[in-house]
Structure 1
Amino acid sequence: MRRAVLLLPLLILHGCSCQPHAPAPDAVVAADSAAAAEASGEDASPSPPLSTPIAAAPSAVAADALDEPAVVHRYISALAQGDLATADAQWTGGGPGGHPDDAVLRVLPGFRGLRIKTQAPIARDTATPSRLREVPVQIRVGTASGTLRFEGWYRLQPRVDGSGWEIHGASIQPVMN
């Protein structure tokens, strides 16, 4: 009983969750404008909401461009087929540079099977729309010597002309079975 007496002033001073909450600001404005219209004898039809729906997030690339995981799939598939020209075209500057972090995939001989699993892209900057995305990836490659597994990520950025995404960097490591 004594504790309840001590808590009661705190609840009164700081408010209680059982107290009714104030109506949302849009509801107050709508009620005020309806009351004003009624008092002036005008038609009290509901007014449109004050806030407009949020439009879809703007994209850093053209609407018809491949999404980030599709670019990664295209790149790795081109490597598996031995088509380095198509694979290199997916990179910024037309190639991965001197020593790419996915070099192990570029030198694997005789792909017999390939499985690529990507996850949703992660924004790696604070720009709106994001201009640096990271695509986590798991790769399973069948070769003549057995099955190899790799994990890591590819980072993508918009092409200069905004026509699509291009690979900016990678980090791929082998996974021990």
Structure 2
Amino acid sequence: MRRAILLLPLLFLHGCSCQQHPPVAGPTTRPDVAADADAVQPGDSPPTPPPTAAASTALSAVAADALDEPSVVHAYLSALAQGDLATADAQWTSGSPGGHPDDAALRALPDFRGLRIQTGAPIARDTAEPSRLREVPVQIRVSTGTNTLRFEGWYRLQPRVDGSGWEIHGASIQPVLN
């Protein structure tokens, strides 16, 4: 079991099957747009091409090489499971979750034996372009020495001041009763 806990960070660094990402939208065809170039009449403007991946990354609020929002949540929860509160706290705004974080029940658990994290696609919680406040839905299953506990909720993230990546701004994590 100790090997599983030691290997857990490697799964997060290299990707893991429990992590959900939104599907990448491919180019779409519209039936009202003609397929050949001869259909464009003089004076008409050509149809606008669909946005490319380069265009969508240009609208990012953080550096292109930064971890995405679900990966930041995974790194934070992995550090908690390993008992590394300094690394976990560094994921928060100001380097600390504050006096009484909304995931205090999760942070107070002793004896992590296993951890399963399932994240949803990040949701924009502001109207800025690009979004500067994202919410990552999360379902967490924690095995301790005595039982298995489930938690649900979300973590809100914002860009770091220097734009180098995302940091946790707030959380709402509650235990789920069976």
TM-score normalised according to structure 1 size = 0.73
Q: Which amino acid aligns with 2:120?
A: Q
Superposed displacement of residue 28, structure 1: 10
8 Å CA contact 2:33–2:47 kept in 1: the answer is no
- Provide structure 1 residue ranges, at least 5 long, that are not aligned to the other structure: 1-21, 34-46
User: Which residue is 2:104 aligned to?
Assistant: 103
Superposed displacement of residue 52, structure 1: 5.2
1:79 equivalent to 2:76? Answer no
- Provide structure 2 residue ranges, at least 5 long, that are not aligned to the other structure: 1-31
Give the number of equivalent residue pairs: 141
User: Which residue is 1:32 aligned to?
Assistant: 42
Q: Which amino acid aligns with 2:147?
A: G
Q: Which runs of 4+ in 1 moved over 6 A?
A: none
Q: Show the 5 A alignment for 1:50-61.
A: 51=48, 53-55=50-52, 56-57=55-56, 58-61=59-62
Secondary structure at 2:41 match in 1: helix
User: Which residue is 1:15 aligned to?
Assistant: none
**CA–CA separation in structure 2 for the residues paired with 1:174 and 1:94:** 25
User: Which residue is 2:124 aligned to?
Assistant: 123
**CA–CA separation in structure 2 for the residues paired with 1:23 and 1:166:** 43
**CA–CA separation in structure 1 for the residues paired with 2:176 and 2:47:** 54
User: Which residue is 2:64 aligned to?
Assistant: 63
More relative contact order, 1 or 2 (CA 8 Å, 6+ apart): 2
Q: Which amino acid aligns with 2:152?
A: E
Superposed displacement of residue 174, structure 1: 0.2
**CA–CA separation in structure 2 for the residues paired with 1:113 and 1:50:** 52
Going from structure 1 to structure 2, the CA distance change for 1:23 and 1:52 (only over 3 Å counts) comes to closer
1:49 equivalent to 2:54? Answer no
8 Å CA contact 2:153–2:173 kept in 1: the answer is yes
Superposed displacement of residue 170, structure 1: 0.1
Higher share of residues assigned helix: 1
Superposed displacement of residue 105, structure 1: 1.2
**CA–CA separation in structure 1 for the residues paired with 2:118 and 2:94:** 26
- Bigger Rg, which one: 1
Secondary structure at 2:94 match in 1: helix
Q: Which amino acid aligns with 2:40?
A: A
**CA–CA separation in structure 2 for the residues paired with 1:23 and 1:105:** 53
Secondary structure at 1:32 match in 2: coil
